[in-house]
Amino acid sequence: MSEPFEIVSLATPVADAALAELADVLIDCVAGGASVNFMSSFSQNEARIFFNKVADGVASGDIVLLAARLGDRIVGTVQLGLDTPPNQRHRADVKKMLVHRSARGRGIGAVLMAAIEEEARRCGRWLLVLDTVPGESGHRLYLRAGWQQSGTVPDYALFPDGGLCDTAIMWKRLK
C-alpha cells in the first residue's frame, strides 16, 4: 500500500521551508515539460520569487494555498484565486495544480481538487474557472472531477521547451 498523504491549507505567514518545497515542486513540473507559465531555463530563485508573491496573496486574502504532504515533504499544491472583480464575487480561479513527478498517480491531484473545491464553497464561491493544455494529465483530472470544457484557444502558450500548445477553458459550477 502506498504511503498516506495529507492536504493542508498553508496559512499566513507561509514558512520559508514550505515556500522552498513548493518551489521544488514547481521546478520539477517544469522540468517534466508541464506548460505552467515558465520556460525550461526557470531557476530555483525564480520559483522562490513566484511563491513569495503567492505568499503575499495568502496574506492579503486573495489566494487560498493548499499543499499535499507525503511523509515530511510537500509534493503537491493548488491555489484558489479569489481576487475577482466586484461583479464576479461568486467566482474563483483554480491555479497551479502541481504534483511532483515522484508522487503522481496515487490520487493526490484528485484529492487536491476536491479540497480546493471545498475551500471555494467555504469562501462562498460557486463557479470555478481554469485553463489547461488539452489532452494532458491535468485535463484528464479535471474531466474526471466533473469539469466542463467551453472550448480551446489554439497556440495559447508555450511548453517549457518552446513548442506551442493550445489551452482548454474549463469551468465547474458547485451549486
Ligand X SMILES: CC(C)(COP(=O)(O)OP(=O)(O)OC[C@H]1O[C@@H](n2cnc3c(N)ncnc32)[C@H](O)[C@@H]1OP(=O)(O)O)[C@@H](O)C(=O)NCCC(=O)NCCS
Residues lying near ligand X in the complex (CB under 6 A) are found at: 29, 34, 36, 97-99, 104-110, 132, 136-138, 140-141
Nearer to ligand X, 69 or 104 (CB): 104
Among the residues of the chain, which ranges form H helices? Answer: 16-31, 44-60, 108-122, 137-144
User: Least distance (Å) from ligand X to the CB of residue 86?
Assistant: 27
Q: Three cell numbers at 147? A: 469539469
User: Least distance (Å) from ligand X to the CB of residue 104?
Assistant: 3
User: Least distance (Å) from ligand X to the CB of residue 95?
Assistant: 8
Nearer to ligand X, 86 or 151 (CB): 151
Q: Which residue number places its CB atom closest to ligand X?
A: 109
Nearer to ligand X, 29 or 63 (CB): 29
Give dist(CA 175, CA 93) in Å, integer: 16
Residue labelled with grid coordinates 521547451:
161
- Please state the separation of Cα 126 from the chain's center in Å: 18
Nearer to ligand X, 13 or 135 (CB): 135
Cis-peptide into 13, omega within 30 deg? yes
